[in-house]
Amino acid sequence: MSELVAVEREGRVAVLTLDRPPVNAMNGDLLRELVAALRAAAEDGDVGAIVLRGAGERAFSAGADIGGFGAIPDDDPDTPRGIQPVADLIESLPKPVVCALHGHSLGGGLELALACDVRVAAPDAKLGLPEVKLALLPGGGGTQRLPRVVGPARAALMIMSGEPISGEQAYEWRLVERVARYEELRDTAVAIAQTFAERSPHALAKIKELLRETRDAPNYAREFEAFLECLGSEDGAEGMAAFFEKREPHWSGR
């Protein structure tokens, strides 16, 4: 177990917990450990989905520890220089990532969450991009991913005001897909991830790839191509066989 990112297993779900008190602010060390944990989970054949959460009751993450990035040596290729490379990694993983948000989920913390496939929030969580209050702007994908999720006007309101919204309002704005009390937040996120983990790894990877490739413009030809790839896969054959034989499928991931 690492010092800044705790790794646990719940069945076929890897639960990664940011653990840098008091508010899980992200510096180079934490992000380096998070990247390593994400890659290990992606490469583990026994892991079908990932949950990302924060330790303690105060925050998922209050954002980036800006001063921490300035101390990264130029010859350190393993430490991300900011949030964007980590968000890109989360988005590109072949396995689904579910994010559990509570307390302060701000700045780079929200930007990491935006890169996840599904977000669950406590009703009183505070989600926001406060960078403008420092005469800055989000630099970890916030200006790009947030408008795709909540629409350009609501994204402009959040980014230009710097004011957070609650988990309840985030649900109304479709920024999060589920709301759960803090006491139930981890279990809710894990339950969603476990449902994903029961599905074909091959199909999930194709779905994530297709959603990523076509998020800015529809491509029905690419969708049909991906459908044929799944239909002709080992998992596709197994899924059809299991359906007709009325049994649970056994996925190979191919």
Catalytic residues: 111, 131
Sequence letter at residue 15: V
Please check whether residue 185 is in contact with residue 122, taking contact to mean a CB–CB distance below 8 angstroms.
Answer: yes
C-alpha–C-alpha distance, residues 186 and 75, integer Å: 37
Bond prior to 123 in cis (omega within 30° of 0): no
CA neighbor of 16 nearest in space, from 3, 7, 29, 26: 7
Instruction: Determine which helix (DSSP H) or strand (DSSP E) holds 50, and give its type and residue range.
Output: strand 49-54
**How many Cβ atoms sit within 10 Å of the Cβ of residue 161?**
13
